[in-house]
Structure 1
Amino acid sequence: MAAPARASRITAAQDSGDKALLAELLKLNQATTDELQKVKLRQLRQDKAKAKALVELAVKILDSENGRKLNYNAIAILGRTAHSLKNHDAAERLYERQLELAQKVKKSAESIIDAYENLIILYFDMKRYDQVIDTCERFLDLKGPEELERVKPFIIERLVQAKAKKGDFDEAMRITRGLLELTNNSWYFLRLKGWVEREAEKYKDAIKTFEQVLDKLDTDEDLKAEIKDREKDRTRYILSALYLDAGDVDSATKQLQILVKKNPDNATYKNDLGYIWADHDRNLDEAEKLIREALELDRKEKEKLKAKGEIDEVRENAAYLDSMGWVLFKKKKYKEALEYLKKAVEDEEEGQHLEIWDHLGDCYMALGMVQEAIAAWEKGLKTEDISKRDGERRRKVSEKLKKAREGQSSSGRKKD
């Protein structure tokens, strides 16, 4: 009788836990404003264990009587929470319910737009580009108030990007030209043209297009100064990456130097400039200084966010830690470099990139720690590519890994 009694107590505890979680879910219905929803999202992102449990229960009961009690507000919060947790299957189901409620209950253009955009962004993150296209086309077929019509060009932009991601560059460019004709070659859709060219690896064409975007922004008299400055900075940042794609390191760093001078408190610009210099064995002392400043700026910004209750811990940026490790590696300070690189890969979200694991492997090899290098490269090869350059890096890491294994085997045979 002991085992059934224990099982009964466990079941009762689970039921009690589910009831408490259900009460938490239903409270989300009361987040009726954007501000309240942001607060709830922030709270859930700070308590990932609870967020995960709430999402799992919501999906489990979604089609039950209790699930039908969750209104548009609760479902929207839970969908975004699932998305941030990278529980894509749950996010898809919740966003689909959000769209259903938007169309049948809320019946407002704003809620319909929000639901469609959530689905489109989710499918992009999942690299399900056919579904991006299908969802965009469904939105474009909608007939409704002026708010829907105003958003359609931006949905077409997403459609273009999905077609380009699928490799249908001719169709993507044809649609983009149509947008440019409709908007008198606006800087916004000219930027989309450059994006498609970059995706097609036509880097020189993309550079020329983004330079035209800068000129257009300069001459746009209707744009507010602060928006113009922000968009020019964004365009220069894209140009720096494009020049790097094209192998023009000098032009890439020139754009970043302009951005650093204009935005001395921007950690991203300082990190990127420092990293590119380090990666190409240039200005290593200045590169180290910039990256240290980036780490400090990032820390101060996160301390402010923690004080406001927007984040629950101050965690160093994995990309900046990688940059710091890499510049120290380039300066042959391998032991110091190792500590930064190890900290970078400890970040289970932002540190899981092939590039970071590759740097860690190189550092281990420089210290004669062959087995650790092999393990680092093996872990790196299990990560997903995040840029087109990762394909070439994957090939090089595979070669290094093969060579290290062969060297290890050869060493073992010599000992025998």
Structure 2
Amino acid sequence: MVTAGVRRVVLVVAALGFAGLIGSQARGDEKKNPLREELLKLNSVTGEDAQRDKLVALAKDKEKTKKLVAEAGKMLKEAKGKENPFNFNGALMVARLAHFNKQYDVAEPFYEYLVESATKLKSGSKMVQAYEGLIDMYWDNKKYALVTETCQKFVDDMGPDEYEQAKPFILERLVQSMAKEEKFDEALRLADTLIEADREGWYFFQLKGWVLREQGKLPAAIEAYNKSLDKIDANKGLKADVRDRFKDRTRYILTGLYVDNKDVEKAAKNLQTLIQRNPDNATYKNDLGFIWADNDLKFEESEKLIKEALDLDKKEKEKLKKEGKLDEVKPNAAYLDSLGWVLFKQKKYSEALIPLKEAAADDEDGSHLEIWDHLADCHLALGQKKEAIAAWEKALKHEDLTKRDGERRRKVSEKLKKARAE
């Protein structure tokens, strides 16, 4: 059901055009606690860049981060009914740190405090920051009903200009959370309402396509994204470079949809177009190489593309390290997995095992069901059944990141059951 608040926002979108929207003193006992002392210093970190750099530095030590977040949670509880020890900046950084570390039980009350604080201040920018953080936290924690509820509250309430201008983006997340709750009819009705309100726009066609993809209606989703592509192409108000960038992003999304729809030829054609336009883009080269190899096509060309992707990625990371923006240069786990898979498909099992093991050993980017499934397949092909079983067991411990993972999980469970029985 579209509320009166949503209808008001739709009118705003139609009128403005969517493209235009596109210290507290520490107490004595806290000073004696080094964790609390460090937390209170966050109150004085201002500016997005400085805050981001500080959070990145803190997040590197996961165990310390866990302790800091837990201590911050205690401090917030102790302050109930008293003066909060954190100002807005400090509370925002704690909330983001807890969110990043998946300590949602602490992140939630901090984000709620931020919403309340920003609303009292009547600061549009702070209200948007607080609400977006709370919504993203619920989303990442898969609490989609709370995402819907919070988004609905945001669009129904009124606020300063910055708050009002953020509503189309919150509406987007509202549509997506409805879809995650499998309220597809409601989600599509709202997406269509937004399309109608922004008749010359292209963005909400992509939102509709996202919902249709979530619903499993792949041909309809492809149609919606292609309409969006046509709209972008026809939009003379966009600068040429901006228009091309939006078109590239849309083509890339279509690539995944074509793969899901078992249309490898169209997926490859879109990636070839993207590579021609962006010859130094490692992702496009890796994806085309993987798609061909996964479908037993053009092994030699696939291997070449994936190796080029690894080389491009390494050069970019070396550049970032030299600029002080990256601490460590290591191969992309997804690209290593692709290299291992193309070698596996050519029955070069001993060669394939090396990059597959390296990909899986990456604690951050290698924690993916597909990577561990590939590693298990390679171990089994080499006659290493014990290692294959261990890899499949590890695979099943990882979360599903895409809809494809659900089907892969079923197949992995079957392979594991078979291997144990033999």
Please give the TM-score of this superposition, normalised by the length of structure 2.
0.88
Which residue of 387, 394, 403 corresponds with 2:418? Answer: 403
| Contact 2:200–2:231 (CA under 8 A) maintained in structure 1 | no
Q: State the alpha-carbon separation in 2 of the partners of residues 37 and 173 from structure 1.
A: 38
Q: 1:395 to 1:319 in 2, by over 3 A?
A: same
Comparing 305-314 and 173-182, the one that deviates more: 305-314
Name 2:333's counterpart in structure 1: 318
Q: Does 2:44 match 1:33?
A: no
Name 2:372's counterpart in structure 1: 357
Q: State the alpha-carbon separation in 1 of the partners of residues 396 and 64 from structure 2.
A: 32
Q: Does 2:198 match 1:221?
A: no
Name 2:306's counterpart in structure 1: 291
Q: Does 2:223 match 1:208?
A: yes
Name 2:89's counterpart in structure 1: 73
| Contact 1:256–1:273 (CA under 8 A) maintained in structure 2 | yes
Q: State the alpha-carbon separation in 2 of the partners of residues 354 and 46 from structure 1.
A: 24
Q: State the alpha-carbon separation in 1 of the partners of residues 311 and 83 from structure 2.
A: 46
The SS at the match of 1:68 is coil
The SS at the match of 1:191 is helix
| Contact 1:46–1:312 (CA under 8 A) maintained in structure 2 | no
**Gap runs ≥5 in structure 1:** 1-14, 408-416
Name 2:136's counterpart in structure 1: 121
> What letter is aligned with 2:364?
E
CA RMSD in angstroms comes to 1.9
Post-superposition offset of 1:67:
8.1
Q: State the alpha-carbon separation in 2 of the partners of residues 18 and 202 from structure 1.
A: 59
Which residue of 297, 317, 320 corresponds with 1:305? Answer: 320
Post-superposition offset of 1:349:
2.5
Post-superposition offset of 1:302:
2.1
The SS at the match of 1:62 is helix
> Of the two structures, which has the highest relative contact order with CA contacts closer than 8 Å and spacing of 6 or more?
2
State how many pairs are aligned.
Answer: 392
Name 2:5's counterpart in structure 1: none
Which residue of 339, 346, 357 corresponds with 2:354? Answer: 339
Comparing 194-203 and 67-76, the one that deviates more: 67-76
Q: State the alpha-carbon separation in 2 of the partners of residues 97 and 243 from structure 1.
A: 44
Q: State the alpha-carbon separation in 2 of the partners of residues 388 and 227 from structure 1.
A: 30
Q: 1:358 to 1:265 in 2, by over 3 A?
A: same
1:61-107 deviation line (CA, Å, top 9, x unaligned): 11335982211111111221222222222222322222222223x43
**Gap runs ≥5 in structure 2:** 1-28
* 1:2-401 alignment, distance < 5 Å: 19-65=33-79, 68-104=84-120, 106-401=121-416
Q: State the alpha-carbon separation in 2 of the partners of residues 88 and 309 from structure 1.
A: 31
> What letter is aligned with 1:215?
D
Q: State the alpha-carbon separation in 2 of the partners of residues 124 and 69 from structure 1.
A: 28
The SS at the match of 1:69 is coil
Post-superposition offset of 1:16:
9.7
> What letter is aligned with 1:194?
G
State the identity as a percent.
56
| Contact 2:122–2:160 (CA under 8 A) maintained in structure 1 | no
Post-superposition offset of 1:178:
0.8
1:168-192 deviation line (CA, Å, top 9, x unaligned): 1111010111111111152011111
| Contact 2:30–2:37 (CA under 8 A) maintained in structure 1 | no
Post-superposition offset of 1:315:
2.7
Q: State the alpha-carbon separation in 1 of the partners of residues 256 and 132 from structure 2.
A: 27
